Structure formats: C-alpha cells, structure tokens
Amino acid sequence: MRHGQYRFIAGFLALPLGIYGLFVLWPFVQSIYYSFTDWTGLSPEFKMVGFANYRRMFEDDVFWKSLQHSLLFAVLLPLVTIGLALFLAFMINVGGRRRKGGPAVTGVRGSSFYKIVYFFPQVLSIVIVALLFAFAYNPDSGAINSILRGVGLDGVQPLWLGDPDLALWCVMAVLVWSTVGFFVVLFSAGMASIPADLYEAALLDGAGRAATFFRITLPLLWDTVQSGWVYMGILALGAESFAVVQVMTVGPGGPDYSTTVLTLYVYQTAFRDGQAAYATTIGVALLVVTLAFAAVVMRLGRRERLEY
C-alpha cells in the first residue's frame, strides 16, 4: 500500500517538476554554461574562454557601480517600504481612538478608504508609474518644480533625474510609492487576525501604542514581515528596479551611470552591445547576490514562532 502511495505521489509530481526544471532550472544551467564562452547572442558559433568573462567582470568599474546601486536598493528599499507599511497598517487597524460605545481597539476613521488609496498604485503598471513620475520630475515643466515655484521657492529647482547625486534617490522614492500599498494591505490582513483581547489587555495594563506595536503586533506578524522583506528585496534586485530605471533615467542608467543597476546592465550588455556571454556572467553574479540576500534575511530573521 505504501509503495503504491509513493508511486502515485511521484506520478502526480513528475509533470510539474519537469515543467519547473525545463523552464526555471535549465535556463540557469544554460546561463552558467554560456558565461564561460564568447557567445555574442547573434551567432550560433562560440568557443570556450574559461574564466575570462569573470576576470573582466571583476575589473569592470560599471559592474561595481551597478552592484553598489543594487545592494543599496536591496537594503534600503525593504527597510523604508516595510517600515512605512507597518506604520500605516498599524494606524489603519489599531491606531484609532476609542469611540463611545465602541471597541477599545479600533483603526483610524476612514480606514477602508485609506486602504484603497494606498493600494491604488498596485493597479497601475510599473511602466505607467515610471512615466508619470518622469513627467513629474521634469525640471522645466514637471509638477514638483511647479509646486516649488508656486509656493515661492523659485531658487529651489533641482534637476532631479538629471542630477547624479539625486537621480538614484528619485528612483527609489518611486519604487517605495508604488509598492508600499501592497504591504499595507498584507500587514492589515495579518493584524486583523490578531485577537483584540491581546490589545485590550495591554491597554488595561497601561501599555501605549508604541509598546503595543513592538510587544504584540510585530512579534505576531514576524513571519509575514520576514517573507515581505525577502519579496521586496527580490523586487528591488530584479524587474521592478529595471523597469523604473529603464523608463525614467537618462541613458538609461545615467547620468554618468549614477542609476545603473545590475538588471539594466545585463540588458544593455546583451541587447545593446551584443555581448550575451558577458551579460550571462553578470546575470550569474546577480543570482549569487539574490540568493545571498535571501539567505542572510532568513538567517538573521530566524526566531521562535509565536502562536495565539
């Protein structure tokens, strides 16, 4: 009976695992293989060059700039986005004042409306968001500088995306704005499942809002926060950062490579420069960085599971 059960499970999983291996694992294997060649991506002919691409990568200043920017995205974006989302979700669900005849723990007035407003950017494509902010950042006719002129700050007219010192921060602000709503809704759903008795007991013991958050809400939401941190880090290292930088910045990736990230550099090297083998080498480095990031977050975030 047990032998037949194992055969059934193996037969049930064979097709999904085969599809996963073909369309997910096999491209990784191919990329690693091509990173040891001189393949241009335009011709079927290539030859093995050993570690030449990796030596070139370690001597490439643009690669190190891109890596620095990607790591900055992976560290700061989850920190800011998840921190802001936790604050907003806590205020929506627990931060309101007690109303006469109502429960002791409640959210702020209009919490349902706030959830819709915060989640709205998720309805828009990231490309549309990037285009809208690219217009807003325009130093001559953009909304931001127009507002500054309207309030009398004519002398404060930054170039925004044209300034190497500001461009990367402008891109990061767009990514925070476009993703924070998803985590607000995610954390709100988690907070709604926490028994109100725990909050009421804490309030009766004299605990304030901050103590309630750090002693009750955050520990009970820790698994969700950890998963969200990994997910946001992968977004920051992957397609989200590529799309925003590609659409918004000069070059793209400028000025002077000040906004180039690894995903954009892979794309430019492969499709603009016709150096597919070198692009796969950078892609392998990005894979290592992503796996290392996820491993570090899961390791540092490991703690005893709390149940209620």
Q: What is the pLDDT of residues 199-249, one digit of tens each?
A: 778 777 777 778 888 888 888 888 889 888 888 888 888 888 999 999 999
Counting the structural domains of the chain, the total is: 1
Q: Which of 138-142, 205-209, 240-244, 294-298 has the lowest mean pLDDT?
A: 205-209
In a domain, 255, yes or no: yes
With 50 as the cut, is the pLDDT of residue 1 above it? Answer: no
In a domain, 202, yes or no: yes
Q: Which of 54-68, 148-162, 206-220, 274-288 has the lowest mean pLDDT?
A: 206-220
Q: What is the pLDDT of residues 110-130, one digit of tens each?
A: 777 888 888 888 888 899 999
In a domain, 204, yes or no: yes
Question: What pTM was computed for the model?
Answer: 0.87
Q: Which of 10-24, 43-57, 88-102 has the lowest mean pLDDT?
A: 88-102
In a domain, 189, yes or no: yes
Identify the CA nearest to 17 among candidates 25, 27, 6, 5: 25
Share of the chain above pLDDT 90, in %: 42
Residues 216-223: contacts with CB under 8 Å, at least 24 apart? 217/86, 217/90, 217/94, 217/191, 218/86, 219/306, 220/190, 220/194, 220/306, 220/308, 221/86, 221/187, 221/190, 221/191, 221/194, 222/301, 222/303, 222/306, 223/305
Structure confidence at residue 198 (pLDDT): 82
In a domain, 288, yes or no: yes
In this structure, what CATH number is given to the domain that contains residue 223?
1.10.3720.10
Share of the chain above pLDDT 70, in %: 92
Structure confidence at residue 94 (pLDDT): 76
With 80 as the cut, is the pLDDT of residue 100 above it? Answer: no
Structure confidence at residue 10 (pLDDT): 78
In a domain, 243, yes or no: yes
Q: What is the pLDDT of residues 39-58, one digit of tens each?
A: 988 888 889 999 999 999 99
Q: List beta partners, residue 145.
A: none
With 80 as the cut, is the pLDDT of residue 104 above it? Answer: no
Mean pLDDT of the chain: 86
Q: How confident is the model at residue 36 (pLDDT cuts 50, 70, 90)?
A: very high
**Residues 52, 3: Cα–Cα separation, whole Å:** 50
With 80 as the cut, is the pLDDT of residue 308 above it? Answer: no
With 90 as the cut, is the pLDDT of residue 194 above it? Answer: no
In a domain, 19, yes or no: no
Residue 130: give the domain boundaries: 60-300
Structure confidence at residue 7 (pLDDT): 78
Structure confidence at residue 147 (pLDDT): 92
Distances (CA, A) of 190 to 89, 224, 260: 9, 8, 36
Structure tokens at 133: 């902010």
In a domain, 244, yes or no: yes
For residue 78, whether the previous peptide bond is cis, meaning omega lies within 30 degrees of 0, is no
| Main-chain dihedrals φ then ψ at residue 229, nearest 5 degrees | -65, -45
